[in-house]
Structure 1
């Protein structure tokens, strides 16, 4: 589904990602963990075309997408739930969903809004409420549902637990798990290593822009660097 090979991304003279190599198979759930500043969000932004890599290659379903424009990647079947949710606070919940389907015609947007909100009943209950009045967890669910409006082949999630209470973190991860069980391929980055590892099929560990570990959830739980640095 997704293959990143030899990716190097810089901010000015500062190397944010060095020789990054990851892959995600169809219907997999893959997590990327690491401390703040490890390069997790830069990885997603590089994949989505928001940041231009200096070198390396990114492929989506065997098609090279390195440096492709973000809107073109949406058309190719990849969407991102950004860090901080970034819903439109003064628009209704339903209008936020409709905007997520901007590539669809009007009739299909309405149909998809009904479909993507089915796993999130709270969004249907509050469809006419301004999105800015939702709780942080509800806004995260809205951001996820909005990203699903184009039926992506691959869903990227950037720090879905950020700023949420432990109870809301569990609720959000339950919804993400449900989406994966329905067949969505997911690449997720999160500082909450325990939740991210429990969720995934496989995971990668980043430190200072470099890949320092990878494996199945159990393999990573058994490694010293993950136990000491992220799982206590």
Structure 2
């Protein structure tokens, strides 16, 4: 479904990604782990068209998307849940959801808001509450539900555990796993290596802008590099 081939992305003269390649098959759950500054967010932004790679190619469902704009990629079935959640704090939970489906007709938006909150009953309970008054975990659930308003074929998640307590991290990952079980293809990047590896079918290890390892869940867990760098 998604094929990233040898991309290099720069901020001015600084190389943030250096020859990165990865792929995500339909209905897979794939994780990319790495420390802060490894290039994980840059990778997702490069895929979503927020930053243009200087080299390499990105294919979505077999079609080149290097020059596609972000809104075009959303309409083609790929959505990003950004780092830091970025909900609209002074709008209600429900209005945040409706904005996620702003290209849909009004009736369809209401219908989709009902559907995407099925895995997140707390959002239904607090639909009229300002999003900024939700807990960090609830805001993360809102950001994920908002991204699902367009019925994406592949969902990209940037640091879903950031700033959350261990209990809330577990709850958020549980909800992400439910979405995967319902058929959503997922590419997730996170500093929380233990949760990210447990979640994935396959995974990659990113260090200083380069991929230094990859494998199945069991292979990553038994990797000396992963264990010494992230699980020790």
Same fold (TM over 0.5): yes
Aligned: 1:25 with 2:36? no
Alignment match, 2:35 = 35
Alignment match, 2:77 = 77
Alignment match, 1:5 = 5
Aligned: 1:48 with 2:48? yes
How far apart are the structure 2 equivalents of 1:193 and 1:102? 34
Alignment match, 1:203 = 203
Alignment match, 1:179 = 179
The CA deviation string for residues 76-110 of structure 1, in whole angstroms up to 9 with x for no partner, is: 00000000000000000000000000121111100
Aligned: 1:227 with 2:198? no
How far apart are the structure 2 equivalents of 1:58 and 1:48? 10
How far apart are the structure 2 equivalents of 1:156 and 1:99? 18
Q: Is there any run of 5+ residues in structure 1 with no aligned partner, and where? A: none
CA contact (8 A) 1:47 1:58 kept: yes
When normalised by structure 2's length, the TM-score is: 0.99
CA contact (8 A) 1:53 1:67 kept: no
Alignment match, 2:63 = 63
Shift of 1:67: 2.8
How far apart are the structure 1 equivalents of 2:219 and 2:103? 41
| SS of equivalent residue, structure 2 residue 167 | helix
The CA deviation string for residues 36-90 of structure 1, in whole angstroms up to 9 with x for no partner, is: 0000000000000011110110011011111311000000000000000000000
Alignment match, 2:100 = 100
How far apart are the structure 2 equivalents of 1:128 and 1:170? 26
Please list every run of at least 4 consecutive aligned residues from structure 1 whose deviation after the TM superposition is greater than 2 angstroms: none
Moved more, 27-36 or 99-108: 99-108
Shift of 1:9: 0.2
Alignment match, 2:133 = 133
| SS of equivalent residue, structure 1 residue 230 | helix
| SS of equivalent residue, structure 2 residue 231 | coil
Number of residues paired by the alignment?
A: 232
Moved more, 98-107 or 157-166: 98-107
| SS of equivalent residue, structure 2 residue 58 | strand
Q: Is there any run of 5+ residues in structure 2 with no aligned partner, and where? A: none
